[in-house]
Chains A and B, each alone.
Chain A
Amino acid sequence: MRNLSSLKKEFLRKWIKGLRKYNSQKKNMNLLERKKAIKLSADLAMASTKDKTTLWRKALFANTSTKIDDEQDMSTTSSTPQKKVIRKNSTNSYPLRKRITGRRKILRRNHTKERVEASFIAMRLVKKRTRKLKSLLPGGKFMDDSCLVDETLDYIESLKAQVEVMRCLVTSSELFINQP
């Protein structure tokens, strides 16, 4: 089993780094913006841990880069170091995305025959669920079954670490507020 505490430490370090960098640009943020910033930096930190080139990590980077681009377009601030960080980290692009989704739609239109045997019903149930899982995972659309299971393993572990670290922070800050 992997070392959860080391994962947490690494995540925390990177998260704080990201938070600081992000906040150095924007001074006044409302709640939602702050929340977005926190979440973003947390996701990025999580994605950059362990130096593993898993699909979901790459997908996270790609997604966040697009998000930041959008935000940049909306706001008028100058270039962000965050964006540079993201660009440094992202390695793959996804040119196949549109092609694959297009093909899937066509396939579904032609697939009309359905069978009633138990094995087929079971297969359909499992397929439904794998589709849902793929939608949950970042970058899940491009994974096959075996890859999917590996990626979910990794993702669940990192999510657990992230949740635990954040919870610690929240409780400690709450304690501080309530204390005096």
Chain B
Amino acid sequence: MEQQPTGTIHALDSVQFNEEIQGIMIPAPAPENASSFTALLELPPTQAVELLHLPDCDGTDSGRLSCCHVSVNQKPYLQNSSNGNLTFPTNAALIERAAKFSVFAGENTSPGEVRLFPAVSGLNLESVKNEPQETDSNPCSTQECVSDPAVENKNQRNVKRKEREKKAKPSSKKSKSVADETSGDGEKLPYVHVRVRRGQATDSHSLAERARREKINARMKLLQELVPGCDKISGTALVLDEIINHVQTLQRQVEILSMKLAAVNPRIDFNLDRLLASDGSSLMDSNLPSMVTPLMWPEIPLNINRPHYQQQWQLDAFHQPLWGREEDNHHFMTPENSLLSYDSPANSASLHSNQLKMEL
């Protein structure tokens, strides 16, 4: 007799329970007992699925009670599972939150998304665990839960954005704040206020080295312009190769030309005073022929006129008539020689001067 009223009471209660739960279920599932949710999580999936279907079956009072008890806790999480598949309990709110987080993630690049999802999942777990503890109304709880992970996510996102940007554009220049100057080599802070490239060291030593390297590179560019054929070459070693080649060729040319000059001119002599006396832009043009031609004069008149005064004559004879300089008395000079010397090359001098003007 005593049992019956209790049984009926229990049955009534279970019915009421079911109704209440169904009313609560739709907006947001809020478990009444924290332990129940964790208990659900600990359960293996098979048992959870069985528990899902338990409320449908009929059983004893105790069984019903237990079923109801379990169903109270489980139904909100098992709403979407329609089949008997071993699907994990899905949560509508969780899905919404995941969608919200994915909106955040959508702003960033793909690696960000990859990184965010584990964070999101972790956050979700945390937020879901927090939910059972809250006994407030559902919307408040959901809002709080959303805000907390959102804030956490933002922090994580900032950190991850920094990491991503580190990898993205290493060549972008940033400025460096004064407070950050003391940071070490590996520090990669988002705001840098001095001409320091992102991802590079900020020691005074490395700065000085970098300045030195830039100076050297600027000079190398100048060299590249000077040496013909170096503009298109990239790479210090090859450019240096070209420079070495060029210097070697120039030095060899000097050797060869000096040899040629020695061979061509048996006597190394030039008319200098005219050159030295007058300073003009056309100096080179006018004087070179006059300088060069007298060299050859000694050869011609030598044989004719004064053979025994050859050597001195070669070197010094032409100085006197040309410049009116009185050298030693033993220098033999006659006006005849001077006249002869000037007559013959007079015609050829004009030709040479034209050619030399073109060359210079």
Contacts and interface: CB of A to CB of B under 8 A. Distances in A.
A175 interface: yes
Contact of A20 (B219, B247, B248, B272): B272
Nearest to A158: B250
A173 interface: yes
Interface stretch (A33-41, A62-70, A76-84, A93-101): A33-41
B240 A126 contact: yes
Contact of B240 (A133, A162, A174): A133
Contacts of B233: none
Interface string A29-69: 00110110111001000000000000000000000000000
Interface string A1-45: 000010011001100110110111001100110110111001000
Describe A's contact surface by its main secondary structure: helix
Interface string B332-349: 000000000000010010
A159 B295 contact: no
B123 to A, nearest CB: 43
Q: Which applies to chain B's interface (DSSP): helix, strand, loop or mixed?
A: helix
A129 B257 contact: no
A85 B265 CA distance: 25
A173 B247 contact: no
9 contacts: A23-B315, A34-B262, A38-B262, A39-B254, A122-B236, A126-B240, A156-B226, A172-B352, A172-B356
B20 interface: no
B159 interface: no
Interface string B346-360: 001001100110011
A180 interface: yes
A122 B270 contact: no
Nearest to A135: B244
A159 B258 CA distance: 13
B237 to A, nearest CB: 4
A163 B348 contact: no
Contacts of A160: 250
Contacts of B348: 176, 179-180
A177 to B, nearest CB: 7
**In the complex, the 6 A-B pairs of residues with the closest C-beta atoms, listed nearest first:** A34-B262, A129-B240, A35-B262, A166-B257, A149-B219, A159-B250
A180 B293 CA distance: 12
A171 B288 CA distance: 11
A156 B227 contact: yes
Given A13-B276, A179-B348, A38 B258 contact: yes
A28 B310 CA distance: 12
Interface string B204-247: 00000000100110011011001100000000110011011011
Interface in B244-294: 244, 246-248, 250-251, 253-255, 257-265, 267-270, 272, 275-276, 283-284, 288-289, 291-293
